[in-house]
């Protein structure tokens, strides 16, 4: 499914960073020469790749839960959802500084609640980051009543979690809803009868990779 909303080549959150880096690189090049400007051009290239925001094809299957982030799967386990106070299937995606950092909706649904917690900035690849770090959680309820919790977690050098939706907002699977700057993690808490597809160590892509299948009247045995 092609997304019905535009995707800029560079995420809007990165425009000021890209502009400043480009301006500094040009000034150093003209006043000090190519060799002195080389590190600044490298920094500009790094910033450009960090803030890239490519469009993605989203699976059409309504039972599919897609990844909310690019990165590597670091946890697939039966866990306790601390936000909805229930048992859940937990799937966690770790984003390093070379991954796309736009966050996308894992499923169609309505945002029922949003929670923000301040916290520490330990390595986001560690399990304790889910409860110790700064984080922003969204409770998303599908039209069939199934609940998902999507949690943006700051990392070791991440210092800004951005979320653009509030309770009552309608999300379409694959829709961009937030951004985390510089290395982070996203946790998904799914209904306990969801069937995990992702495996630890697997590389996944936001809005495109299927992390799990939800049980619905129309879903097939997988």
- Please answer whether residues 21 and 43 qualify as being in contact, where contact means their C-beta atoms are separated by less than 8 angstroms: yes
Catalytic residues, which ones? Answer: 184
Backbone dihedral angles phi then psi of residue 212, each to the nearest 5 degrees? -165, 165
Nearest Cα to Cα of residue 74 among 88, 95, 89: 95
CA distances from 204 to 15, 60, 113, 200 (A): 25, 17, 26, 11
For 213, phi and psi rounded to 5 degrees? Answer: -115, 135
Euclidean distance between CA atoms 106 and 202, whole angstroms: 17
């Amino acid at each position: 499914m092609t997304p019905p909303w535009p995707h800029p080549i560079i995420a809007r959150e990165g425009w000021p960073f890209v502009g400043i880096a480009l301006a500094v690189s040009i000034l150093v090049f003209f006043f000090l020469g190519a060799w002195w400007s080389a590190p600044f051009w490298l920094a500009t290239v790094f910033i450009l790749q960090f803030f890239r925001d490519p469009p993605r094809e989203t699976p059409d299957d309504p039972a599919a839960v897609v990844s909310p982030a690019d990165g590597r799967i670091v946890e697939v386990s039966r866990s306790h959802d601390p936000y909805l106070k229930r048992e859940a299937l937990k799937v966690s995606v770790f984003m390093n500084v070379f991954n796309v950092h736009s966050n996308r909706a894992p499923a169609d649904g309505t945002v029922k609640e949003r929670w923000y917690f301040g916290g520490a900035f330990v390595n986001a690849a560690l399990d304790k980051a889910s409860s110790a770090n700064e984080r922003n959680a969204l409770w998303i309820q599908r039209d069939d009543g199934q609940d998902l919790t999507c949690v943006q977690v700051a990392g070791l050098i991440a210092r800004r979690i951005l979320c653009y939706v509030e309770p009552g907002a309608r999300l379409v699977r694959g829709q961009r809803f937030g951004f985390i700057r510089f290395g982070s993690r996203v946790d998904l808490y799914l209904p306990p009868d969801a069937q995990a597809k992702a495996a630890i160590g697997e590389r996944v892509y936001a809005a495109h990779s299927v992390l799990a299948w939800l049980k619905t009247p129309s879903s097939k045995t997988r």
